[in-house]
Amino acid sequence: MFGLDKKDTSLLILVAILTMLAPFILNPFPASSGLAQFNAGYPDLMQRFVIFGIFAIGFNILFGLTGYLSFGHAAFIGVGSYAAMWMFKLVGMNVLPALALSMVMSGLFAVVIGYISLRRSGIYFSILTLAFAMMSYALAYSVLATDMDGPDQQGLLQKGLTGGETGLQLTLQDPRVFGEQATADGNLPVPSLFGLEMRSSTELVMGDWVFTFSTGYYFCAVVMLLAFYLSIRIFRSPFGMMLRAIKSNQQRINYTGLNAKPYMLAAFVISGVYAGLAGGLMAAMDPLAGPERMFWTASGEVVLMTILGGVGTLIGPVLGAGLIKYMENILSKINSDILHTWFAFLPDGLEDFVVGMIYPFIGKGWHLTLGLIFMAVVIFLPGGLVEAGQRISRVFKGRKAPEGAKKSTTEPAE
Amino acid sequence: MDAIILQVLNGLDKGSAYALIALGLTLIFGTLGVVNFAHGALFMIGAFCAVTLSRILTLSHEVIDETRTDFLGNPLKVDVPYVYDIFGQATGDAIIDWAVPLSILFAIPVMILIGVVMERGLIKHFYKRPHADQILVTFGLAIVLQEIVKYYYGANPIPTPAPEAFTGSFDFGALIGMEANNIIYPYWRLVYFGFAAIVIGAVFAFLQFTTFGMVVRAGMADRETVGLLGINIDRRFTIMFGIAAAVAGLAGVMYTPINSPNYHMGMDFLVLSFVVVVVGGMGSLPGAVLAGFLLGILESFASMREVIDIIPGINQIIIYLVAIIILLTRPRGLMGRKGVMED
Amino acid sequence: MSKTNLTRRGLLKTSAVAGAGVALPTIFTSSANAFTNEPTGSTVTLGFNVPQSGPYADEGADELRAYELAVEHLNGGGDGGMMNTFSSKALQGNGILGKKVEYVTGDTQTKSDAARASAKSMIEKDGAIMITGGSSSGVAVAVQALCQEAGVIFMAGLTHSNDTTGKDRRANGFRHFFNSYMSGAALAPVLANAYGTDRKAYHLTADYNWGYTTEEAIRTSTEAMGWETVGTVLTPLTQTDFSSYIAPVLQSDADVLVLNHYGGNMVNSLTNAVQFGLRDRIANGKNFEIIVPLYSRLMAKGAGANVKGIFGSTNWHWSLSDEGSKAFVKSFGEKYGFPPSQAAHTCYVQAILYADAVQRAGSFQPCAVVEALEGFEFDGMGNGPTLYRAEDHQCFKDVLVVKGKENPTSEFDLLEVVEITPVEQVTYPHDHPQFAGGSLGSCNNGA
């Protein structure tokens, strides 16, 4: 089906089912129970899951297939977000033109950065991409955020091209040529798809469970499925084979008379466009673009997502993205108060002891847990979460997979 | 002219910190082939060795002073450090005052121990693993180390002043017969530069003139052959890791009076020091030092008003811009070796 | 958000259609609730969005302590703190409108993206009716815009940029903290008094929005006093060593250095400036002086002895002797063992003000709350008589000019209040050039 073999088709269908049912799957605990804290089925986080999933899928096309480790991919997210925001400001609130411009702009950026950076390989390539991203970050934060209108005017550019620290925002004065400047009640219009507002949602109450179905989420989910499908096609195409060949031995490719450069650049640009698309979607779900999304830690985050999930595997990066975003949004919100209610059944002294033991790892200590998980995954699961899944399924199937098969899926690259 | 001299001094000073961190980073990379993202954290831990020692020296017991009150109107509890009880107030004050230099003695064993434990306990298992895995595991370790420090010391910067004798500045202008008070430079920053020069010199001398250093250099060039000669290169590399950690730690200790240490100072330096290492050329010790000073000086010049007025924002991006230019014109950085980290 | 009981099958079908990009009937936007997160049970949930990781984590922790204290007081626990001295007596100590106050917390990480994500999760998942907190203007502006869109009230925490209630003001957002303009207006006369009117100032400014507005405010108000600005240089936010920015000051003919830096930037730039001997310098026949427009006691601690004698402004300080401040310091100090910071104070006040406004309005509906807060005059909250101005949702109250204390008696006793600048002196028209270019829009009930 869809030009995929049977295994890939079933993977795609599985992913499709999981994303479509995500509002149920991510909300397993009834709203009134103490465990509701762990529910992730609210629109913002679900949107983040799929958006960062797209980002990681795109990153994996470059890193997983060619082994080139870009440390500046967050720059494309930023470019995509800013491009989408300018579309919202100048043209109108429809998300499709905004996403189109995000992809075009980030693609152009990727051509330039890729063309220069791909002249080097290994860590030199990584540092070049990092340098470009950090330059974009620094400029977006400062020079590009200064008043370009002149002191007496309050026009479009009064906070520059990027809005600096506060981020680029919609204002009531934006022209929005093909849309309304303000809603009937004097507020900012929201991004929409031909009138279907991204932030609208419907709730389904079933007993003690509340499931939220957000338009924005389903829009992102469909985009992610398309992106995922495309990445499967790339992985299985002759082009994908070529990229793998470059990864395993670039010299040999050169000796056969093939020029690897155009292939590399194509992969770089494709993954840059994926990142730009993710950035555009971020702006479409939440119309504000800030420069922090271009900081090196954001670039590092997608590397971590990919490795955590499983480099070079199809589904791994999406899982990694989900895990990191889940920790960031759920763990950081647990405070000592909540801990005390959970363990209230214990005798007082013991309760304080248990809370005291757990407290450093949650709430403001969530970074600590994140660090520990990174270490644990790399030490014990070199192939990331996908390897964990394989091991579990092996246990169930009761046989050991051939060594070679395991190696081909889990061999991380650099 | 004065301004240029001052910026050169600033550049050398900044360069000292970059060079020290980059030196350790290169040492680890050159010997063990490991990309150590926790190196910034080692710098930070060094700085907190100084904080810890000054906390230990000022460990106090409370004495209630009935004549004064605290913010709630209760009698004020005055902290009296134990060193006062032991050495008397004058000597005690002097010891507390010299906490930062004293921390060098404290930090060297601590940092070597941390380095060796890190190598034996964690890094050892990653020699054969891809660089991406090394980056991830050391990055995870860096986060863990920094969160532990944050848990105990808080997120705010902690003042750790230099000894009284080193406050104030040295007047270069008066020295060379120019207008006084024009080219002045803080004593402690001069100390930092001198200290960095000594440490860098010591590391090079150690590698150049000792048998141990010779073996290590041989091992850096060709690990297998040295191993085949029956030399236990692993143990020596472990010790080198400890030394690299100590270099980063000392850079941190001495840095505390320049800027109050905080738990994320390591991350602030991490990316920059990587850029320094790569610009210098992966695996090249002189390259790391050279690039450290070069980037420090360029950064200082780029932050001059005259320069910013011509190219707005240049101070924000100069290091990265220079890195891009150097990497495009010199494929392996300033002094890099062929074939290192290019696959 | 709407609450509709749909069958699962029908819903999946419509979602799929939605995904396919076909316009739907307005069922998705129709509202069953009167406003976003209308509290229906016996409790009401407030969202405390403070920095828990990153460089401002300690400030965030102090804000959180203040919120916990405020919740305790609202629910009738503790000694009541400033609720006893507050001029409005609407609050009964039985929660808000009889509903017990509960709260959720989030981590802004001092990044606008992360702050919006955590605010969104509090609104979407935990049903928070109001979001408050934060320790930077970037975050405040970003979260304020989000709350406007979502239809909940935003009570800003520590945010000092003019833009929060200027260019980026929003109908659903309120700021109790003072701003850059007020710092300038309060500082200038004190500075002219202490250092004379014939001064040449050199500005180092953090290269982001707050830095720009602060520099502009200080420059305008000191120039009006007769000072001359001889140089301004922008410093990168990520800068840690300011030596290369401080050194050129020695070559300029300036005799005052203004550090438009906050937090870690301020600690480092001040430390570096003192290292370069600027405190002991004589320029133009006068003592060289350093000024820090916005002081934070928590951060000043990081600069140690370097703050001694340096002028700055602050929103509130625990050593104030009015009844409100005393009551607050007492209940905070007894609970946590140390005096509260200005961030803690503004957050506590914001929480109480919100609760009081709901109580007076008789409803949690955001537009009713906005109406109750607009033009609200109150006293007894530590800053003297205060007005929440209707035009821009900024509080107008006295501003403190402070100075680093020469002989601190404890680690908290770092600043001494030099002057309490009366509110008239720091009041400005809402369309003042430094604030122009924004509009509140209209209040949004969401849903």
Size of interface B-C (CB pairs under 8 A): 138
Distance, CA of B23 to CA of B283 (rounded, Å): 10
Q: For residue A184, what are the contacts with CB-CB under 8 A and spacing of at least 6?
A: none
Nearest residue in chain B measured CA to CA from C248: B3
Chain A interface mutation, best of C37, C43, C120, C141, highest count of A Cβ atoms under 10 Å: C120
Distance, CA of A98 to CA of C109 (rounded, Å): 28
Distance, CA of A54 to CA of A272 (rounded, Å): 11
Distance, CA of C169 to CA of C436 (rounded, Å): 10
Joined together, the tokens standing for residue B16 give: 């000292």
Q: In 3D, which of B20, B85, B262, B42 has the Cα closest to residue B160?
A: B262
Q: In 3D, which of B193, B191, B192, B187 has the Cα closest to residue B169?
A: B187
The DSSP symbol for C340 reads P
Chain C interface mutation, best of A85, A173, A202, highest count of C Cβ atoms under 10 Å: A202
Residue A166 contacts C where some CB pair is shorter than 8 Å:
yes
Q: What pLDDT digit, counting tens, does each position of A314-337 carry?
A: 889 999 999 999 988 888 888 777
Please determine, for residue A401, whether its predicted confidence score (pLDDT) is greater than 60: no
Please determine, for residue A219, whether its predicted confidence score (pLDDT) is greater than 90: yes
Helix (H) or strand (E) holding B145: helix B131-153
Q: Tokens 């003192």 appear where?
A: C274
Which of C19, C52, C238 is nearest residue A332 as measured by Cβ atoms? Answer: C52
Residue B191 contacts A where some CB pair is shorter than 8 Å:
no
Report the pLDDT value the prediction gives residue C372, as an integer from 0 to 100.
Answer: 94
Q: Which residues of B touch C304 (CB under 8 A)?
A: 159, 161, 260
For A328-346, the DSSP string reads HHHGGG--HHHHHHHTTTS
Q: Tokens 């700085």 appear where?
A: B47
Q: What pLDDT digit, counting tens, does each position of C259-274 carry?
A: 999 988 899 999 999 9
Which of A167, A196, A212 is nearest residue C24 as measured by Cβ atoms? Answer: A196
Residue B299 to residues A63, A384, C20, Cα–Cα distance (Å): 32, 40, 52
Residue A154 contacts C where some CB pair is shorter than 8 Å:
yes
A2, A9 Cβ separation under 8 angstroms:
yes
Distance, CA of A98 to CA of B180 (rounded, Å): 61
C303, C271 Cβ separation under 8 angstroms:
yes
Q: What pLDDT digit, counting tens, does each position of A135-171 carry?
A: 999 999 888 877 776 666 666 777 788 888 888 888 8
A180, A1 Cβ separation under 8 angstroms:
no
Q: Tokens 């040449």 appear where?
A: C200
Return the partners of chain B (3 or more C-beta pairs < 8 Å): A, C
Asked whether the beta carbons of residue B324 and residue A131 sit closer than 8 angstroms, the reply is yes
B251, B21 Cβ separation under 8 angstroms:
yes
Joined together, the tokens standing for residue B74 give: 């209760």
Catalogue the E-assigned strands of B148-303. 169-171, 184-186
What is the four-CA torsion angle of A320, A326, A331, A332, rounded to 10 degrees? 100
Q: Tokens 């690039």 appear where?
A: B291
A156, A149 Cβ separation under 8 angstroms:
yes
Q: In 3D, which of B170, B146, B124, B125 has the Cα closest to residue B42?
A: B146
Asked whether the beta carbons of residue A205 and residue C237 sit closer than 8 angstroms, the reply is no
Please name the residues between 412 and 441 in chain C that touch chain B, using a CB distance below 8 Å.
412-413
The DSSP symbol for A383 reads T
Distance, CA of A316 to CA of A53 (rounded, Å): 9
Please determine, for residue A309, whether its predicted confidence score (pLDDT) is greater than 60: yes
- % pLDDT > 90, chain A: 35
Which of B132, B137, B147 is nearest residue A414 as measured by Cβ atoms? Answer: B132
Q: How many CB atoms lie within 10 A of CB A335?
A: 20
Pairing mode, strands B184-186 and B169-171:
antiparallel
Q: How large is the average pLDDT for residues C10-37?
A: 45
Report the pLDDT value the prediction gives residue C252, as an integer from 0 to 100.
Answer: 86
Which of B129, B139, B323 is nearest residue A131 as measured by Cβ atoms? Answer: B323
Q: What pLDDT digit, counting tens, does each position of C383-393 carry?
A: 999 999 999 99
Asked whether the beta carbons of residue A333 and residue C6 sit closer than 8 angstroms, the reply is no
Residue B278 contacts A where some CB pair is shorter than 8 Å:
yes
Distance, CA of A358 to CA of A336 (rounded, Å): 9
How close, in Å, is residue A205 to chain C by CA atoms?
A: 6
Joined together, the tokens standing for residue A282 give: 């971020």
Joined together, the tokens standing for residue B3 give: 């301004």
Report the pLDDT value the prediction gives residue C4, as an integer from 0 to 100.
Answer: 40
Domains in chain A (CATH in brackets) are 6-295 (1.10.3470)
Q: Which amino acid is at B272?
A: L
Report the pLDDT value the prediction gives residue C289, as an integer from 0 to 100.
Answer: 93
Pairing mode, strands C415-421 and B60-69:
unpaired
How close, in Å, is residue B198 to chain C by CA atoms?
A: 22
Residue A4, Cβ density class (10 Å: 0-12 exposed, 13-18 middle, ≥19 buried): middle
Of C299 and A21, the structure prediction assigns the larger pLDDT to: A21
Asked whether the beta carbons of residue B3 and residue C56 sit closer than 8 angstroms, the reply is no
Please determine, for residue C345, whether its predicted confidence score (pLDDT) is greater than 90: yes
Report the pLDDT value the prediction gives residue B340, as an integer from 0 to 100.
Answer: 59
How close, in Å, is residue B295 to chain C by CA atoms?
A: 13
Nearest residue in chain B measured CA to CA from C268: B259
Q: What pLDDT digit, counting tens, does each position of C102-128 carry?
A: 999 999 988 888 899 999 999 988 889
Q: What pLDDT digit, counting tens, does each position of A11-68 carry?
A: 999 999 999 998 888 888 887 777 788 888 888 899 999 999 999 999 999 998 998 8
Asked whether the beta carbons of residue C441 and residue A332 sit closer than 8 angstroms, the reply is no
Asked whether the beta carbons of residue B132 and residue A130 sit closer than 8 angstroms, the reply is no
Q: How far is CA B124 from the centre of its chain?
A: 23
Q: How many CB atoms lie within 10 A of CB A5?
A: 10
Q: In 3D, which of A244, A281, A249 has the Cα closest to residue A263?
A: A244
Nearest residue in chain A measured CA to CA from B312: A143
Please determine, for residue C28, whether its predicted confidence score (pLDDT) is greater than 70: no
How close, in Å, is residue B130 to chain C by CA atoms?
A: 30
Asked whether the beta carbons of residue A382 and residue B328 sit closer than 8 angstroms, the reply is no
Q: Which residues of C touch B259 (CB under 8 A)?
A: 240-241, 267-268, 271-272
Distance, CA of C416 to CA of C319 (rounded, Å): 8
CA dihedral sign of residues B78, B82, B88, B94:
negative
Q: For residue B54, what are the contacts with CB-CB under 8 A and spacing of at least 6?
A: B96, B99, B100, B103, B160
Report the pLDDT value the prediction gives residue C99, as an integer from 0 to 100.
Answer: 93
How close, in Å, is residue C229 to chain B by CA atoms?
A: 14
CA dihedral sign of residues C248, C250, C251, C253:
positive
C138, A290 Cβ separation under 8 angstroms:
yes
Please determine, for residue C22, whether its predicted confidence score (pLDDT) is greater than 60: no
Greatest alpha-carbon span in chain B:
76
Q: Which residues of C touch B264 (CB under 8 A)?
A: 54-55
Report the pLDDT value the prediction gives residue B155, as an integer from 0 to 100.
Answer: 87
Report the pLDDT value the prediction gives residue C15, as an integer from 0 to 100.
Answer: 40
Asked whether the beta carbons of residue A131 and residue B275 sit closer than 8 angstroms, the reply is yes
Angle value at C-alpha C76, between C81 and C58, nearest 5 degrees: 50
Indicate the pTM of the whole model: 0.89
How close, in Å, is residue B88 to chain A by CA atoms?
A: 39
Q: Which residues of B touch C54 (CB under 8 A)?
A: 155, 264
Domains in chain C (CATH in brackets) are 1-32 (no CATH), 43-178+319-394 (3.40.50.2300), 181-314 (3.40.50.2300)
Coil, strand or helix at A252: helix
Report the pLDDT value the prediction gives residue A53, as an integer from 0 to 100.
Answer: 94
Q: Which residues of B touch A121 (CB under 8 A)?
A: 342-343
Return the partners of chain A (3 or more C-beta pairs < 8 Å): B, C
Residue C281 contacts B where some CB pair is shorter than 8 Å:
yes
Q: Which residues pair with C50 in a beta bridge?
A: C107
Asked whether the beta carbons of residue B139 and residue A360 sit closer than 8 angstroms, the reply is no
B29, B209 Cβ separation under 8 angstroms:
no
Distance, CA of A190 to CA of A172 (rounded, Å): 12
Which of C248, C282, C305 is nearest residue B305 as measured by Cβ atoms? Answer: C248
Distance, CA of C28 to CA of C6 (rounded, Å): 11
Distance, CA of C437 to CA of C415 (rounded, Å): 36
Asked whether the beta carbons of residue B258 and residue C277 sit closer than 8 angstroms, the reply is no
Q: What pLDDT digit, counting tens, does each position of C159-217 carry?
A: 999 989 998 899 999 999 999 999 999 999 999 999 999 999 999 999 888 898 999 99
Q: Which residues of B touch A69 (CB under 8 A)?
A: 131-132
Q: Which residues of B touch C319 (CB under 8 A)?
A: 71
Q: Which residues of B touch C107 (CB under 8 A)?
A: none
Q: How many CB atoms lie within 10 A of CB C112?
A: 30
Q: Which residues of A touch C60 (CB under 8 A)?
A: 364
Distance, CA of A45 to CA of C151 (rounded, Å): 19
Please determine, for residue C5, whether its predicted confidence score (pLDDT) is greater than 70: no
Report the pLDDT value the prediction gives residue B188, as an integer from 0 to 100.
Answer: 92
Q: What pLDDT digit, counting tens, does each position of A61-106 carry?
A: 999 899 888 989 999 999 999 999 999 999 988 999 999 999 999 9
pLDDT-flagged residues of chain B (< 70):
338-343
How close, in Å, is residue B143 to chain C by CA atoms?
A: 12
Joined together, the tokens standing for residue C417 give: 């209040």
Q: In 3D, which of C335, C259, C256 has the Cα closest to residue C295?
A: C259
CA dihedral sign of residues C261, C265, C267, C268:
negative
The winner for highest mean pLDDT among A346-350, A392-396, B119-123 is B119-123
Chain C interface mutation, best of A166, A214, A330, A369, highest count of C Cβ atoms under 10 Å: A166
Catalogue the E-assigned strands of B24-183. 60-69, 75-81, 169-171
Coil, strand or helix at C197: coil
Q: What pLDDT digit, counting tens, does each position of B217-259 carry?
A: 888 777 788 888 888 888 888 898 999 999 999 999 999 999 8
Chain B interface mutation, best of A65, A137, A374, highest count of B Cβ atoms under 10 Å: A374
Q: How many CB atoms lie within 10 A of CB C426?
A: 21
Q: How large is the average pLDDT for residues C47-53?
A: 92
Nearest residue in chain B measured CA to CA from C278: B168
CA dihedral sign of residues C33, C34, C37, C41:
negative
How close, in Å, is residue B38 to chain C by CA atoms?
A: 18
Please determine, for residue C12, whether its predicted confidence score (pLDDT) is greater than 50: no
Residue A85 contacts B where some CB pair is shorter than 8 Å:
no
How close, in Å, is residue B108 to chain C by CA atoms?
A: 25
Which of A124, A132, A370 is nearest residue B278 as measured by Cβ atoms? Answer: A124
Distance, CA of A183 to CA of A33 (rounded, Å): 39
Size of interface A-B (CB pairs under 8 A): 129
